[in-house]
Structure 1
Amino acid sequence: MGCFRIEASCQKTGARAGILETRHGFVKTPVFMPVGTQATVKAMAPFELKAIGSQIILSNTYHLYLRPGQDVINEAGGLHKFMGWDRPILTDSGGFQVFSLSDLREVNDEGVVFQSHLDGRRHFLTPELAVSIQEKLGSDIAMCLDECVPYPCDEKRSAGAVKRTIEWAARCKKAHSREGQLLFGIVQGSIFPSQRRHCAEALSEADFPGYGIGGLSVGEPHEIMYEMLDELAPVLPALKPRYLMGVGYPPNLIEGVARGVDMFDCVLPTRLGRNGTVFTSRGRLNIKNSVFERDFGPIEQGCTCYACRTVTRAYIRHLYRSREILASRLCTWHNLHFLQKLMERVRSAIVEGTFEMFRKEFNETFRDGENTP
């Protein structure tokens, strides 16, 4: 369990196509994981996720710990049975949410005290508790507790977070005992190359079955994120999966793959979809714009998602203006389908030896910002 094998690699970039074995099945990489924060991917049912080809989803330890609680989910038979999903699930450690959502938090070497955003109660999250929660949730992949720092962050503060992240990873590994559940370490280090390398080297020595890359896509320029990935590529174990946390913007996915990343997750496609923004091969469209009032074509010609096969831009715009729930569902379906098919095309290009050409053509076509039809 937990075997990761690389089937093909790009000779001129770090891109690779692999297969990760988990308790609930195999995951072909590179892969994008839809985010199911509250044990549900917003606006999507499990059978719909399967219909678009989602192989693995992410759920959030912080939110599930606060509500309904890991004991309730454990009594239900684990997260898979609780939410009706029989494919792989990755759970994060809750660390990012503690540091980003909680107004009051106190960090020390033992763990972090935080105030619930739900009822204001104080909780003490330790590496051991983070592991225990995820073991009760029963995910296929669990993540070590790490200390997340904001951007920008000074070098001294980041160094302290790296030290704790390494120490907490060792404690997580010692506490972890659930058979068949993979525990990934998380590399921190903000935008400081030496800290990134140091953290990656220390965690590599601990021999985790996979490695998350945290603390990126938090406001830094894309170029800096790519520089950090370039620093980590030769340091992280080549035969272990690499997971870039919180990244889901299409150009970032392509560039992450080019730098050896195998797994991605992000709320972006579902959040944008709920607010009327959709991905196309040319960039983003805001379907609520008046230009679509009499546009009776699909979101994107050639797309095979349910929305594009059945309804028009004009209809979806009408749904948004009428505040109908179906609008969010259709756009979310399309966005997740778009990313799923994008990653399938990326994988095929790697296997066929055409990734460089694919990358070039994608970057020439996809434009940042919102586009007009």
Structure 2
Amino acid sequence: MKFTVKAWSSSGGGSGGGIARVGVLQLGLGSNGCPTTTIETPSLLLSTRKGLPLFMPPDLLSALPSPDSHLLQLSPLHFLECPSPKTISSMGGVHKMVGLKENYSFVAAPRDSMLCLPVAESSNKIGASFESPCGRRLIKPAEYIEMITSLNPNIWATLADEVPAWVSAKRNRTSVDRTLRWLDECITLDPARGIFSFGAIVGGSNIEERKRCAQEVAKRNVSGYWIGGFGLGETAEERPALLNAVIDVLPEYKPRQICGLGLPEEVLQGVASGVDLFDSTYIYHLTIGGFGLIFPLNSKERDISNSQLSDAGGDLTKINLRATIYRHNTHHYLGFFRTIREAIKVGEFDNFCQRFVEGRREHLAVAAAC
């Protein structure tokens, strides 16, 4: 894996402050020695269920813009019941199991991408507790590494004890201690794969615990960072300070991935702080709810008329798919990330954020008045 930062753009105002950046992430090596996947960041990881994209048959995946759509999110939790690690290994890992070519890359992270469920208070010092289709399961680091080894993803995040924003200070400190201990155990159990690991960072809504966890993880020999514990009750107002507490102590030459930020405004907060990869369930929940994205990606795009949206049950930012024939939320959101990258490259990210957020507020206000 190789990551290089290519451009920066200062970000402030309502976006949270910091330095937004465009990078290039290179993953895998083909038979010719060249990277099999090259992704520009900030980028969206496409959610999958056991390795296959949601709401999209594999034969249509190639219709999405390349290479933006070639980075896929994978949750090892989906394999708690079946198939077994032994079976997956015999197939040759997740790539061979789902039949995707080597120019697609997988990032495995320990959160259920469908339910967006973190580890709950029932975790203990032995392992992490997760909800599964067959009830709550306790996963020890050894079992987790066995799953990672069998899946053979391009990148994997270490186990994390995520907690919601409202837990006690003692529980929050404990979650950081456990996450750091599991990080060391995961890397020790499989040192060969440790070079492809993203160290998990937690800390809830406590700035000092966030900073402490980030400082400790930055000391470890990991390839990047998986920032967890967001989207679990923190407010939009306190989120920038929490993000900056983490990002400010991480080395700039390693990629940063975050889980739990999905709304466009949340993504912009993450980008403004210097996040590179977004593991988001936003388009999954939007699509399963029957809505399609239509918000303009730049100021040159023309809005759909109020009368059309009224008939379609929309609000100037999304439309009701049950009332229309509109499709391709994934395509639209990938376009949103491309627009963000272009704004950073020309040093206009802050202005882009302000225009975008103001436009969204205006659209929602007009829709509410209709």
TM-score w.r.t. structure 1 length?
Answer: 0.81
- Report the residue type matching 1:77 in the other structure: G
Which residue is 1:127 aligned to? 141
What's the CA shift string for 1:117-176, capped at 9, x where partnerless? 4334x7541122212211210111111001111231111100011011111111111122
The two structures, once aligned, show a CA RMSD in angstroms of 3.3
Q: Following TM superposition, by how much is the alpha carbon of 1:260 offset from its aligned partner in structure 2, in angstroms?
A: 0.3
| Partner SS for 1:191 | coil
Identity of aligned residues (%): 25
Which residue is 1:239 aligned to? 253
Which residue is 2:125 aligned to? 109
Q: 1-side partners of 2:88 and 2:37: how far apart?
A: 21
Q: 2:22 aligns with which of 7, 17, 20?
A: 17
Which residue is 2:105 aligned to? 88
Which residue is 1:322 aligned to? none
75 and 168 in structure 1: CA distance in 2 versus 1, 3 angstrom threshold: same
Gaps of 5+ in 1: 301-312, 320-326
281 and 71 in structure 1: CA distance in 2 versus 1, 3 angstrom threshold: same
Q: 2-side partners of 1:123 and 1:266: how far apart?
A: 23
Q: 2:353 aligns with which of 351, 354, 359?
A: 359
Q: Following TM superposition, by how much is the alpha carbon of 1:282 offset from its aligned partner in structure 2, in angstroms?
A: 6.0
370 and 244 in structure 1: CA distance in 2 versus 1, 3 angstrom threshold: farther
| Partner SS for 1:350 | helix
| Matched-pair contact (CA < 8 Å) for 1:93–1:134 | no
| Matched-pair contact (CA < 8 Å) for 1:31–1:262 | yes
What's the CA shift string for 1:316-365, capped at 9, x where partnerless? 4347xxxxxxx7xx54x2x2112101111111111122222212221121
Within-5 A mapping of 1:268-279 = 268-279=282-293
| Matched-pair contact (CA < 8 Å) for 1:95–1:146 | no
Which residue is 1:8 aligned to? 7
111 and 291 in structure 1: CA distance in 2 versus 1, 3 angstrom threshold: same
Q: 1-side partners of 2:313 and 2:201: how far apart?
A: 49
Which residue is 1:60 aligned to? 75
Q: 2-side partners of 1:112 and 1:342: how far apart?
A: 35
| Partner SS for 1:15 | strand
- Report the residue type matching 1:90 in the other structure: V
Which residue is 1:304 aligned to? none
129 and 30 in structure 1: CA distance in 2 versus 1, 3 angstrom threshold: same
Q: 2:160 aligns with which of 146, 161, 177?
A: 146
Q: 1:48 aligns with which of 53, 60, 64?
A: 60
| Matched-pair contact (CA < 8 Å) for 2:119–2:129 | no
205 and 181 in structure 1: CA distance in 2 versus 1, 3 angstrom threshold: closer
Which residue is 1:27 aligned to? 39
Within-5 A mapping of 1:1-373 = 2-12=1-11, 13-23=18-28, 24-53=36-65, 54-86=69-101, 87-94=104-111, 100=117, 106-112=122-128, 117-120=132-135, 123-178=137-192, 182-281=196-295, 291-292=310-311, 316-318=321-323, 331=327, 333=328, 335-367=329-361, 372=367
What's the CA shift string for 1:159-216, capped at 9, x where partnerless? 0110111111111111224559711011110010110000000000013110011101
113 and 354 in structure 1: CA distance in 2 versus 1, 3 angstrom threshold: closer
- Report the residue type matching 2:276 in the other structure: D
- Report the residue type matching 1:22 in the other structure: L
Q: 2-side partners of 1:138 and 1:209: how far apart?
A: 16
- Report the residue type matching 2:26 in the other structure: E
99 and 266 in structure 1: CA distance in 2 versus 1, 3 angstrom threshold: closer
112 and 30 in structure 1: CA distance in 2 versus 1, 3 angstrom threshold: closer
| Matched-pair contact (CA < 8 Å) for 1:95–1:145 | no
Higher mean displacement: 75-84 or 206-215: 75-84
Higher mean displacement: 138-147 or 264-273: 264-273
- Report the residue type matching 1:41 in the other structure: P
58 and 357 in structure 1: CA distance in 2 versus 1, 3 angstrom threshold: same
